[in-house]
């Protein structure tokens, strides 16, 4: 489930599960959203389980205050969720970073949608830390920070990058 935790004293870390990100992508079906789902490697829940997964995801989002009730009684994503969902469904550029140590792999993704840029960093097997990058000038530093921290932790580690651009 998504959560926001304090990292240090002032910085908030937002974590969403793969199912929550998939749920956001499903709210507005776009070609860009389908590409995002493919680039991040998200798999939909089996058809027979989708109703249960959706109920669990929405309950988790509601419990964490990530959704708000509208005037007409519907549940809507809160401001943070709307920003993330919009970036995911309107993305026009993706950079995937695979961090491998033997058979184990962690992923990170930088996703650009117009001027909005978010970074998804795999936290656990099925969850991602979501970070907003203030500008495209921050992308090289963010990628470098992730790669260097990973490579400095030990031998036998490799990093692969994959870029996808709608304009290309």
How do the domains of the chain map onto residue ranges? 3-165
Residue 16 to residues 24, 56, 104: CA-CA distances in angstroms? Answer: 10, 13, 21
With 70 as the cut, is the pLDDT of residue 2 above it? no
Neighbour count for residue 3 (Cβ, 10 Å): 14
What average pLDDT does the segment 119-136 reach? 92
* Mean pLDDT taken over the chain: 89
- Residue of 22, 21, 18, 41 lying closest to 127 (CA atoms): 18
What average pLDDT does the segment 93-98 reach? 95
Neighbour count for residue 27 (Cβ, 10 Å): 15
Give the pLDDT of residue 68: 87
pLDDT tens-digit map of 131-148: 999 999 999 999 999 999
Q: List CB contacts of 99: < 8 A, sequence separation 6 or more.
A: 105, 106, 107, 108, 146, 147, 150, 157, 158, 159
């Amino acid at each position: 489930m998504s959560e926001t935790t304090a990292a240090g004293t002032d910085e908030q870390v937002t974590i969403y599960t793969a199912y929550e990100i998939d749920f956001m992508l499903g709210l507005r079906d776009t070609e860009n959203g389908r590409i995002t789902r493919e680039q991040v490697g998200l798999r939909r829940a089996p058809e027979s389980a989708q109703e249960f997964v959706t109920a669990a995801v929405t309950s988790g989002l509601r419990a964490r205050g990530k959704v708000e009730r509208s005037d007409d009684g519907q549940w809507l994503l809160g401001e943070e969720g709307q920003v993330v969902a919009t970036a995911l469904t309107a993305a026009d550029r993706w950079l995937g970073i695979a961090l491998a140590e033997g058979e184990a792999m962690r992923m990170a993704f930088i996703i650009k949608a117009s001027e909005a840029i978010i970074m998804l960093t795999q936290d656990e097997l099925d969850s991602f830390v979501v970070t907003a990058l203030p500008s495209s000038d921050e992308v090289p530093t963010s990628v470098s920070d992730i790669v260097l921290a990973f490579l400095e932790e030990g031998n036998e580690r490799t990093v692969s990058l994959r870029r996808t651009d709608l304009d290309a």
